[in-house]
């Protein structure tokens, strides 16, 4: 299977300024995705879509190809990821240089995907004939115990969901998962036809990843947490070195 690895990183991060080129353990967030992709057995070509010259230069230092500059209209807070993917795919097809079976979307804000995670996602796609494989992490609180509070602070909706649980059932609530942002593997022809990741409910699969490799960085505290995990040895940097 030929896979195009696409790093997406715009320059205007507000939560963490210059987030995508901030470093953890001496490696930028873009660098983590680039190094893992290059170590992967499934990476046929590695490119980046960004509007930022600084991010482009950082990506080049990690061996990433910079074939184009992302248009300004696709680098706003409201620009959709699907539109960014589609722009990159159109560029690649217009080049006429390569054809691909799938595209691996790599977001630096979830930096700790390892090459083995990428390769396992590709294996899963081929085994299950999937159109989508996404990185997942286990959640610590089941959705039956989660819900909104109303304007006065009542938790009625949560109480209603819990009402049917017996004491035993509380201990037997099925483990639930959520996307961790670390990887999105999308079959090329499927996306070209649908132009959306989440439209095929029967051929979409999750790849569970360990909690420490599922960190997402949206706020400065997340960056500090990731640094703590590295310094305490919970994240093995040999995956990227």
Task: Show me where the domains of the chain are located.
Answer: 3-136+178-239, 140-175
Quickly state the pLDDT bin for 114 (edges 50, 70, 90): very high
Q: What is the mean pLDDT of residues 55-61?
A: 98
Local structure of residue 114 (DSSP, 8 states) = -
- 226 versus 97: the higher-pLDDT residue is 226
Q: Give the integer Cα–Cα distance in Å for 120 and 122.
A: 5
Local structure of residue 214 (DSSP, 8 states) = G
What 3 state SS string does 25-55 have? CCEEHHHHHHHHHHHCCCEEEEEEECCCHHH
At 179, which helix (H) or strand (E)? Answer: strand 177-187
Q: What's the pLDDT score for residue 171? A: 65
Q: 7 and 34 in contact (C-beta within 8 Å)? A: yes
**Is the pLDDT score of 166 beyond 80?**
no
Non-local CB neighbours of 145 within 8 Å, separated by 6+ positions: 158, 161, 162
**Is the pLDDT score of 170 beyond 70?**
no
Say which range, 112-121, 166-175, 208-217, has the weakest mean pLDDT. 166-175
- CATH number for the domain formed by residue range(s) 3-136+178-239: 3.90.550.10
Q: What is the mean pLDDT of residues 114-139?
A: 98
Q: Give the integer Cα–Cα distance in Å for 19 and 29.
A: 7
Q: Other C-beta atoms within 10 Å of 35: how many?
A: 22
């Amino acid at each position: 299977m030929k896979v195009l690895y696409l790093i997406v990183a715009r320059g205007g991060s507000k939560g963490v300024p210059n987030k995508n080129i901030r470093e953890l353990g001496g490696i930028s967030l873009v660098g983590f995705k680039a190094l893992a992709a290059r170590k992967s057995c499934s990476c046929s070509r590695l490119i980046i879509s960004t509007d930022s010259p600084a991010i482009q230069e950082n990506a080049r230092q990690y061996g990433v190809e910079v074939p184009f500059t992302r248009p300004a209209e696709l680098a706003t807070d409201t620009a959709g990821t699907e539109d960014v993917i589609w722009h990159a795919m159109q560029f690649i097809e217009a080049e006429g240089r390569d054809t691909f079976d799938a595209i691996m979307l790599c977001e630096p804000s979830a930096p700790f995907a390892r090459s083995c995670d990428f390769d396992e996602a590709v294996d899963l796609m081929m085994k299950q004939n999937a159109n989508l494989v996404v990185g997942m992490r286990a959640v610590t609180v089941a959705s039956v115990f989660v819900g909104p509070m109303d304007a006065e602070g009542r938790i009625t909706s949560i109480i209603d969901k819990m009402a049917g649980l017996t004491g035993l059932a509380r201990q037997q609530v099925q483990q639930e998962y959520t996307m961790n942002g670390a990887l999105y593997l999308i079959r090329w022809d499927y996306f070209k036809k649908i132009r959306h990741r989440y439209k095929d409910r029967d051929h979409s699969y999750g790849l569970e990843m360990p909690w420490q490799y599922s960190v997402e960085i949206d706020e400065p505290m997340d960056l500090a947490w990731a640094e703590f995990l590295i310094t305490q040895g919970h994240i093995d940097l040999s995956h990227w070195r």
